[in-house]
Structure 1
Amino acid sequence: MALALLIPGGSGQLGGDIARRASEAGAVVRAPGSADLDITQASQVIAAVRELAALAKDEGHQPLVINAAAYTDVDGAESDEQRAFAVNGDGPRGIAAACATTKVPLVHISTDYVFSGETERPYEPNDALSPRSAYGRTKAAGEAAVLASGARAWVVRTAWVYGADGNNFVNTMTRLERERDTLSVVNDQHGSPTWTFDLAGGLLELVSAIVDGRPPEQRTLHCTGGGETTWYGFARAIFEELGADPERVRPCTTTEFPRPAARPAYGVLSNASWRTAGLTPLRDWRDALTAFMAAKRAGV
């Protein structure tokens, strides 16, 4: 079915991959960055969603919004929670309201930071929220606003996202491998690394199910790379892919590497809801990392 997509946050690492993969699949895509669409400005949001709805009607396409826009500076949010809330809380509220008015479906991206991380099993979508940081609180507020808006909306939580562009863990480790003989990385925080290319494919499969009349009954879903590791394990794998000695990466504890914002000690998200919805689970995180690094080497 022909699709018309609006992707706020389209200049980010996830938004960019969604836009590229959707365009390659034949969708009409609008993927504005914050300079072109400030989601904290209701008038801009309303205009963008109305324009999408009108375009879709004229072209005989199905319209849908994927909100990939977010304030993602986890530590910065601790000292500027008001700004983080404007983007992560009020922004999604405005998008969802515009979608409800125009009857355009919405997929909103969220995070494992809405949980405390004080568990020993992967989180399910219906587990109680208990964010421990300003970033987590603002993302939880955005989720609640979207789900209470009356729009046909789905929240997709993900974690430990990395892509070709942007300030992410893989790119940081790649740079530090060149700059340092050894480095210490925390080994007591657990999660599931998720390549934006794979996540974009999963989100577009969800979008197809929604516009084809096969939407998931559950409105909150989890989608991450398969398996789990620690930041230390992730860093060692990156060094291996770079052809560097992984023994140069040394383990440390969170208390040895203090940050302004608390991180979930266990932020693994269960993908059972994704499978139950009939959607294809993402590949194992380690296989995805190998594919990502090969793509980087090939300049893809």
Structure 2
Amino acid sequence: MKILVTGSKGQLGQSLVRLLEARNDVEFIALDRDKLDITNKQEVDSVVVAFSPDVVINAAAYTAVDKAESETKLAAAINRDGPSFLAEAAQKVGAALLHISTDYVFDGKNAEPYSEQDQTAPQSVYGQTKLEGELAVASACERHIILRTAWVFSEYGNNFVKTMLRLAETHDNLNIVGDQLGGPTYALDIAKALVLISDQITTGRDVEYGTYHFSGLPHVSWYEFARAIFSAAEKQTLIAKRPVLKSITTAEYPTAATRPANSKLNVQKIFNHFEIEASDWQRALNDLSAYQNNG
């Protein structure tokens, strides 16, 4: 199996590299923007045709949600144009494209977890450009999997878990938003899901292409997630004392981009088709020392 990974230095990209390096039956190249600018069509065509992968996993994205409100062209180039070029190149060489998307394609006003069939209605530039990327992928590459996820965290890069651990060193009190709900998702679990899907594609199993949701359970608020992080950190003696947490509303913590109040994703379809279970984010907090030791 030959796999091309984009966005190799991001949270998901590094998790994918970690998994693929342990596989003797996979030939892969993992490229970040310094080696492959996905917004450059000629560059994308050249790399994809030269390597001729069985599967392209696009883990590259513009994820600075608030900055996207002012950097609209850059966000669109990376989240819409790049996936479009990758999809066209994948179609050209007969590869499947696995593309990562987001809960931000929804408006967050549903009471129940969002299914793949629910109406999209992004409320931010980030969400809009990610939706445009989904549409571009679906129209340009027949063999595509769009994987929507949410609240991603890992030992790598910047994320909510690492921010909380850092703030615990300097703050006795923290205000955390309590009226946004979602499923924290461990990046290594996303990587495992993508590799499993890739295995099924390349071994000739009957794969239903299209859009899937994958995120963590149980669903919690950011406040509840923070509480779980500090509880785990305290048990692991990584912090001397947990900060006192106060649950606040979204209105009390204004941001440039509108966040969905409900980021809960229904993950039944991916289990039905691939037997992939929801990310166990609580288990992923069992060794928080790894989150302190990675940049």
Fold agreement, TM-score > 0.5: yes
Deviation at 1:215, TM superposition (A): 4.4
Deviation at 1:159, TM superposition (A): 0.5
**Unaligned ranges ≥5, structure 1:** 57-62
TM-score, normalization by structure 1: 0.92
Contact 2:186 2:280 survives alignment (8 Å): no
2:174: which partner in 1?
Answer: 183
Deviation at 1:165, TM superposition (A): 1.4
Deviation at 1:151, TM superposition (A): 3.4
Deviation at 1:289, TM superposition (A): 2.3
Structure 2 residue 73 is the aligned partner of structure 1 residue 82: yes
Contact 2:180 2:222 survives alignment (8 Å): yes
Structure 2 residue 285 is the aligned partner of structure 1 residue 289: yes
The structure 2 residue matched to 1:166, chosen from 157, 171, 182, is: 157
* Deviations, residues 244-279 of structure 1 (Å, cap 9, x unaligned): 555611110000000000000001111111111133
1:203: which partner in 2?
Answer: 194
* Deviations, residues 8-57 of structure 1 (Å, cap 9, x unaligned): 1011110111111012122222111111111000011111111221xx6x
Structure 2 residue 221 is the aligned partner of structure 1 residue 230: yes
Identical counterparts, % of pairs: 39
Q: 4+ runs of 1 displaced by more than 6 Å?
A: none
1:252: which partner in 2?
Answer: 248
Distance 1:76 1:217, change over 3 A: same
Distance 1:109 1:215, change over 3 A: farther
1:38: which partner in 2?
Answer: 37
RMSD (Å) for aligned C-alpha atoms: 1.6
Q: Describe the SS at the equivalent of 1:249.
A: strand
Q: Describe the SS at the equivalent of 1:148.
A: helix
Distance 1:136 1:265, change over 3 A: same
Deviation at 1:161, TM superposition (A): 0.3
Distance 1:176 1:114, change over 3 A: same
TM-score, normalization by structure 2: 0.93
Q: Describe the SS at the equivalent of 1:157.
A: strand
**Unaligned ranges ≥5, structure 2:** none
Moved more, 243-252 or 227-236: 243-252
Deviation at 1:284, TM superposition (A): 2.8
1:265: which partner in 2?
Answer: 261
Q: Describe the SS at the equivalent of 2:169.
A: helix
Distance 1:184 1:298, change over 3 A: closer
Deviation at 1:283, TM superposition (A): 4.1
Instruction: In structure 1, give the amino acid aligned to 2:288.
Output: M
Instruction: Give the distance between the partners of 2:35 and 2:119, measured in 1 at CA.
Output: 36
Instruction: In structure 1, give the amino acid aligned to 2:232.
Output: E
Instruction: In structure 1, give the amino acid aligned to 2:118.
Output: D
* Deviations, residues 71-128 of structure 1 (Å, cap 9, x unaligned): 0000000011111000000110000000111111110000000000001111111111
Instruction: Give the distance between the partners of 1:205 and 1:197, measured in 2 at CA.
Output: 12
